[in-house]
Amino acid sequence: MNFFEHQDRARSSTRTLVFLFIAAIVTLILITTFLVVTVLGLAEAQNSQSAIDFNIITSDIFLLVSAGVISVVVLGTVFRFAQLSGGGRSVAQGLGGRLLNVQTKDADERKILNVVEEIAIAAGTPVPEVYLLEDPAINAFAAGFKPQDAVIGVTRGCIQQLNRDELQGVIAHEFSHIFNGDMRLNIRLIGWLYGITVIGLIGYYLMRGSSYSSRSRNDKKGGIIMLGLGLLVVGYGGTFFGNLIKAAVSRQREFLADASAVQFTRNPEGISGALKKIGGYAGGTRLAAANTSEISHMLFGQGMRAGFFGLLATHPPLDERIQRLDPSWKGGKHAASPVSSKAQAETASGFAPVYAAEEVFANIGEITSANLIVARQQLQNIPSVIREEAHTTLGSCLLMYSLVVTCSEQVVAAKQIRYLQVSLGAQSYSNFASLYDRVGALPRELYLTLVDVALPSLKQLSPDQYGIFIGHLQQLMLADEQISMFEWCLFKILSYNLDRRAARDEPLVDLKACASECQVLLSALAQTGHSTLAEASSAFAASARELSIDIALELEWNKSPDIAVLEQVLGKLKNLRPLQKPRLLKAMVLCIQHDGKVSSEEGELLRAVAVVLDCPVPPLSNSQ
């Protein structure tokens, strides 16, 4: 199953869970109606009629109870989702996590930041923020609604107890959850379960209020206590069945993430070694945070004691996970295995990655050892001074300005520099001038890598600072009253990753219904990478055939693509059905590689489209 099938299955799982929770709410309505009727019967004990009227389902009481239960669940769910609107940050902060400063000098913190940065760049996905939980347990999680707001959380025990290969296996496991669409599903589970729990909380406060009340008549007081007890049982009963669903879904996805981690790193000893080390570690994986139960399904390992003889365990047994990764393991004493000589040799060999269209498509949502080597090389080729500046909020902003100015023609660049000289303070402009000279010496293929490195720092901008940053960026882009392809690609990548406004869920569209949009996009790509009409036409025809939409597409040959039209096109294509996205991306890769060369401009356009489609695409290279 590939990245797109995982995404589609995640959507299907969401629909199934919605159905199950609706069924749970209906059950709650029926049980609560029964409780209310029973309480009314107790309150009217002097009446000889039965306390329970089985025709009640047609009465006003049923309608009132239904409205009440639905209102409580919906309001509780909406309230919790509002608290989680910050995405992964909200989850990490709720657990007491501390955002790691990318400039940290702490060796352990530096180690985890380097691993996360390396894996993200190898996968072609935004570098997520990293939160540290000061807990001795070995555990980790990925949280967020989409890759752009994802965070990685790790415990102090995780980065102290695991070596780099084991840590890389754990982080690759968490990236699998990002790629497979698990994060969004996991956050929805938090909101839905909280909505059901609110009913139990109401019951608890009814019981508590009645027990402290001395004015109520005993029979009335007893009825309220009984209603409160019933609601408490109903609420937590609903949570119990919700947790059963959560546990079942989580266990299967943990197996998938373990297997994906091995696929990513080509080093099964990494993640299996981490699991073995957990088994022999006194601190285990249980977290001390008060709300661990709410996010237990997000964790790398079992975060709390599993009740009902393991029935509610959110993770498979540790031995079973190890056995699947290391069939030769016979159980018994847990001890981490050394890194295999094969894995060491493969990592050290530095073999050249293969980037044919089929390979690029197969690697979407995956991380190969070849990609990891490329990522390390790219990071090493960025001077340490630039990387250090990319790890500060001001430095990262100045670097983005430098990229725009560097890619501009000389006359336009002079105008842009004058704008910055007036708009920035004296010290900031001096820093910019120094960085601008250094960025100008970088090869073009490192520009997007530099953007990836800077993203975690840029995410720390306050709303006001972000507005100023984007404002300056737009002024630089409009200095010549037109937007270049690079400027548009950079702006799309930055705004899509940094804009904190909640994205609206829009209806999915079919690839065939986007034929005209595909024609515009592929035409822009064909003329970006090919200098003659004949070459562009040939590349366009090959990519159009790959779409297989049974609609004739024609190359739109212009001297320069219309950026405004491209903006509208991408606004529609971002809603493609998950299983149809690969056809578009593969068509783009075929178009790019038709002449055996990959220009920086082509790679940048592919990356911008992939970011908006929420598809991690590894970097392309020229044919060998």
Residues with a catalytic annotation lie at 174
How many CA atoms does the CB half-sphere of 235 hold within 13 Å? 23
- Do residues 301 and 278 touch, judged by C-beta distance below 8 A? yes
Structural tokens at position 156: 């102090």
DSSP secondary-structure letter at 285? S
Question: Measuring CA to CA, how many Å separate 134 from each of 115, 286, 288, 294?
Answer: 19, 13, 10, 19
Length of the chain equals: 624
Other beta carbons within 10 angstroms of residue 85's beta carbon come to: 12
**CB–CB of 389/398 below 8 Å?**
yes
CA–CA dist 249, 314 (Å, integer): 8
Contacts of 400 (CB under 8 A, 6+ apart): 451, 454, 458, 469, 473, 490, 494
Instruction: Give the Cα separation of 291 and 296 in Å (integer).
Output: 9
- Spell 410-436 as b/e; 16+ CB within 10 A means b: eebbeebbebbeeebeeebbebbeebb
| Burial grade of 116 (CB within 10 A; 0-12, 13-18, 19 or more) | buried
CA distance 617 to 364: 5
Do β-strands 129-133 and 151-155 pair in parallel, antiparallel, or remain unpaired?
parallel
> Which residue has 């902003």 as its token pair?
397
Dist CA 478 CA 168 (whole Å) = 42
Q: Helix 218-265 crosses helix 3-43 at what angle (to 10 degrees)?
A: 170
Q: Which of 535, 513, 515 is nearest to 526 (CA)?
A: 535
